Structure 1
Amino acid sequence: MEEDLRALLLDAPAVTALVGPRVNFGRHPQGEPLPALVLTTVSDREGLTLDGPDGLQRARVQIDCWAASYGEAKRLSRAVRQRLHGHSGGGFRALILEAARDLGAPEAPGRPFRVSLDFLVTYSA
């Protein structure tokens, strides 16, 4: 799922126009420029029915949109939302935006801004 989700974002011209190839799971490499996307799998579980596993996985993925300015972080979050929300295809049954958070101004000058998006991801196991 992680590789496919990253590829889906890198295949979106509106996203890559802002971040280029800087879409990473776990963390953004130190010293690399912004803006960037950092994806984190918050949860991932197997789907079940009364008869057992249903062949689907259900995950929550947090996508942090990092940028030097609030406006740039917000534009990036809109591009991600446009690409992913409501998407189905390939191994993905559904990508649904569950929540979005603007995390306020940085406490120290020069610190980047972040907008976080939580997606519910249903995909074939």
Structure 2
Amino acid sequence: MQKEFRALLKGSAAVSALASAIDWGLLPQSVALPAIALELIDNADGLTMQGPDGLWRGRVQVDCYAGTYGGAVALSEAVIDLLSGYRSGNWRLIMLVAQRSNTETRASDQPYRISVDFMTNWRKTNG
């Protein structure tokens, strides 16, 4: 799921036009901004009384970093436009569940960050 989630973002012309990097985990300090850091909050295979049903449900945090607040907002809006309500291929549904910024506690030398959380429903095979 992680590889496919990143590929979905990288495959978007609108997101790729704004983000210099999209990757899981922490971004290196030397990365050019704007950029996206992805965090897997949780991910589990659904269960029935007969065992796993193959539909993975998870939560992904997408952190949109930029040198300006407007840049972080623009990047987060491109991500939301792409992912909110997305259904295609193995993705049964991606839905926006939270959005927040850290501008009030931001140190003067840190980039701006807008975080958006998505619940994911994903099946390994499209059968």
Give the TM-score normalised by structure 1.
Answer: 0.93
Q: Distance in 1 between matches of 2:54 and 2:108?
A: 48
Q: Which residue type is aligned with residue 12 of structure 2?
A: A
Alignment correspondent of 1:53: 52
Aligned residues: 124
Q: Secondary structure at the match of 1:29?
A: coil
1:30 positional shift: 2.4
Q: Distance in 2 between matches of 1:45 and 1:108?
A: 36
State the AA in 1 paired with 2:116: L
Query: Aligned partners of 1:65 and 1:90: how far apart in 2?
Result: 25
Aligned equivalent of 2:91: 92
Q: CA deviation at 1:5?
A: 0.7
Structure 1 equivalent of residue 115 of structure 2 = 116
Structure 1 unmatched runs, 5+ = none
Counterpart of 1:80 in 2: which secondary structure? helix
Secondary structure of residue in 1 paired with 2:96: strand
Given that residues 106 and 112 in structure 2 are in contact (C-alpha distance below 8 angstroms), is that contact kept between their aligned partners in structure 1? no
1:1-125 to 2 correspondence within 5 Å? Answer: 1-20=1-20, 22-105=21-104, 107-125=106-124
Q: Report the 3-state secondary structure (helix = DSSP H, G, I; strand = E; otherwise coil) of the residue aligned with 1:88.
A: strand
> Partner amino acid for 2:5?
L
Q: Which moved more, 1:72-81 or 1:26-35?
A: 26-35
Shift of 1:107: 3.6
Do 1:106 and 1:112's aligned partners in 2 also have CA atoms closer than 8 Å? no
Whole-angstrom CA distance in 2 between matches of 1:107 and 1:116? 14
- Whether the 8 Å contact between 2:42 and 2:60 is mirrored in structure 1 is yes
TM-score normalized by structure 2? 0.91
